[in-house]
Amino acid sequence: MESWQETEIQSLLTAESETALFRVLAGAARVLGFEYCAYGMRMPLPVSRPKVFMLNNYSDQWQQRYQQEGYLDIDPTVAHGTRSVMPLVWSEGVFAENRRFWEDARAHGLRIGWSQSCYDARGIGGLLTLARSDESMSAGEVRDLLPKVSWLTQAAHEGLSRLLLPRHMPEACAVLSAREIEVLRWTADGKTSSEVGMIMNIAERTVNFHVNSALEKLGAVNKTSATIKAAMLGLL
């Protein structure tokens, strides 16, 4: 297991493209006994319409069906992943309220599965889904897979974040100074620049200097936007 982990983590963290990364991820899924693999990533920004990215090796027919039927909105594995990082082993009970979706998925070969989500300090969520068409999971297999799938989810998340963030959410890579962070924290509490200056014992123009610097780093149009972005990215 250690040798497998070392090989996979290096490949996931050094992949030069999403395609190369997913090739490694799908290979790891096969080693674990699953023919299908998917990884979805949801970024916290923009707030009104967060960016979502998906990599998978599902059939074209299932991908088209999933999109046409709007299954993302009712998929219980996705709903679970937004509420908990506990692993979800598929069962009849999981899909009890979504029978049509469940029957459709099974008709496309997705009968046995495992879903595992994760979240990082920047508020970015990820969901790894492993599935196969037959051979139900025994209790022993579930115990054996627990640490492996958890590890694979985290490694995939780090690898994909490294590739996507610079292009699609560069503000997540911003490094704020201690002063900038303190100014934005007080701003988040509703303090004006004048009040922040008094609290921090600095001139109001110095407060505004730090605010403007943070605006530039975060790609924000005003200090309210900068404060929200910084908070959602875990910078405050």
pLDDT digits (tens, 9 = 90+) for 182-230: 999 999 999 999 999 999 999 999 999 999 999 999 999 999 999 999 9
Cα distance between residue 219 and residue 225, in whole Å: 9
Distance of CA 40 to the CA centre of its chain: 7
Nearest to 174 by CA among 212, 227, 218, 216: 218
**Same domain (yes/no): 140, 185:** no
Look up the domain containing 115 and give its range: 2-165
- Residue 106 confidence class, pLDDT cut points 50, 70, 90: very high
Q: Are 41 and 124 in contact (CB under 8 A)?
A: yes
User: What's the mean per-residue pLDDT of the chain?
Assistant: 92
Among residues 147, 165, 183, the one where a domain terminates is 165
What's the domain count of the chain?
2
The CATH code of the domain that includes 10 is 3.30.450.80
**Same domain (yes/no): 145, 199:** no
Cα distance between residue 54 and residue 13, in whole Å: 18
Q: What global pTM score does this model have?
A: 0.85
The larger pLDDT score, comparing residue 7 to residue 104, is at 104
Q: Are 164 and 157 in contact (CB under 8 A)?
A: no
